[in-house]
Amino acid sequence: MGFLDKLKQLVTGKNKKDNDQYLSGFDKTKESFGKRLGGFRLGFKSINEDFLEELMIVLLESDIGITTANEIISLLQKKSKNYVVLNFDEVMDLLVESMAEIYGEEAIEISLSVSPTVIMVVGVNGSGKTTSCAKLAYKYLQMGKRVALVAGDTFRAGAIEQLSMWASRLNVPIIKGKEGQDPSSVLVDGCRYAKTNNIDILICDTAGRLQNKANLMNELSKMKRVLGREIEGAPHYTWLVLDSTTGQNGLSQASIFNEITSLDGIILTKMDGTSKGGIVIAIKNILKIPVLFLGLGEGLEDLKEFDLNMYLYSITQGIKDVKEDGIL
């Protein structure tokens, strides 16, 4: 059985609602990535130079990035050496298998056994931090956890109100200060609240300004320091929120954050709004930070745990849609 068929078998046994959400969240990537690959079926002869050139263009346009695209193509060529002839579907199987191998697999277990577990959410302006905090809160509430939110963005006008609205929709407590207040003092209040109210998960929103590196570093390290002083081991997780529509630029933002603070994972938002879903592989391959969650829409339910098989299945759906005669 080919790799794509194996993927299909693996994912169709899973939760149907999850599958459908994944698939519709990747509609745009499926159209531009999967269907364009599928289009190569017409006139395909072998893995020759023309084919590799076209393939490179599709990989780059999906934001896989030059380094990672080269690695995928080299691996595909290496794998194809084991065969005398390969038809188009077999080449696609080897391609997607190569993408999976370059991504590398490790199932990340997020342990929530410590109460309170403190999660700090960081990232640049507008990347989707506040919305992701609300989506995480929703996810953990569904798991039966006691959740509280901390409005650590005291910088942007309206930020506290925005998180407060989510908190009231979710019916979870929110710990907040005043606009302009030192965010670290709000985090301290949040920790104290969590300890005295048996909160399991404390989710801390932060401001999104990417000022100069030194300021950002000072601010983040101060926040981490105060959290650690209040609750042993806190923050247990620091997750970077990245807007997937910013492409390679997002990758450089991620590396700046990665240089100045230790990150435990990435929440990649707005995947539903981009056709460039290859960014997932680039991030993992270049930064070695796992993508933990994907934002596939604006609603509370639209945050999905990253699953390599579901992801690959979703973006490559279009390959088989293009039939022998080129008719979709």
Q: Count the site residues for ligand GTP by CB under 6 A.
A: 22
Q: Which is nearer to ligand GTP, 43 or 299 (CB)?
A: 299
Q: Find the shortest distance in angstroms from Cβ 47 to ligand GTP.
A: 36
Candidates 9, 70, 125, 252: give the one binding ligand GTP (CB under 6 A). 125
Under the binding rule (CB under 5 A), the answer on residue 269 touching Mg ion is no
Under the binding rule (CB under 6 A), the answer on residue 126 touching ligand GTP is yes
Q: Which residue is nearest to Mg ion (CB)?
A: 130
Q: Which is nearer to Mg ion, 35 or 129 (CB)?
A: 129
Instruction: Mark residues 192-231: x for contact with ligand GTP by CB under 6 A, - for none.
Output: ----------------x-----------------------
Instruction: Mark residues 260-279: x for contact with ligand GTP by CB under 6 A, - for none.
Output: ---------xx-xx------
CA-to-CA dists, residue 65 to 22, 39, 47, 252, 268, angstroms? 23, 21, 21, 12, 16
**Which is nearest to 151 in space by CA: 140, 139, 162?**
162
Candidates 59, 102, 149, 159: give the one binding ligand GTP (CB under 6 A). 159
Q: Which is nearer to ligand GTP, 4 or 175 (CB)?
A: 175
Q: Which is nearer to ligand GTP, 151 or 231 (CB)?
A: 151
Which two structure tokens, joined as six digits, stand for 198? 């048996």
- Residue 71 binds which one of Mg ion, ligand GTP, none, with CB within 5 to 8 A depending on kind? none
Q: Which is nearer to ligand GTP, 98 or 274 (CB)?
A: 274
Under the binding rule (CB under 5 A), the answer on residue 130 touching Mg ion is yes
Candidates 127, 238, 314, 317: give the one binding ligand GTP (CB under 6 A). 127
Under the binding rule (CB under 6 A), the answer on residue 156 touching ligand GTP is yes
Applying the rule CB under 6 A, the residues between 297 and 326 that interact with ligand GTP are 297-298, 302
Residues that bind ligand GTP (CB under 6 A): 123, 125-131, 153, 156, 159, 208, 241, 269-270, 272-273, 295-298, 302
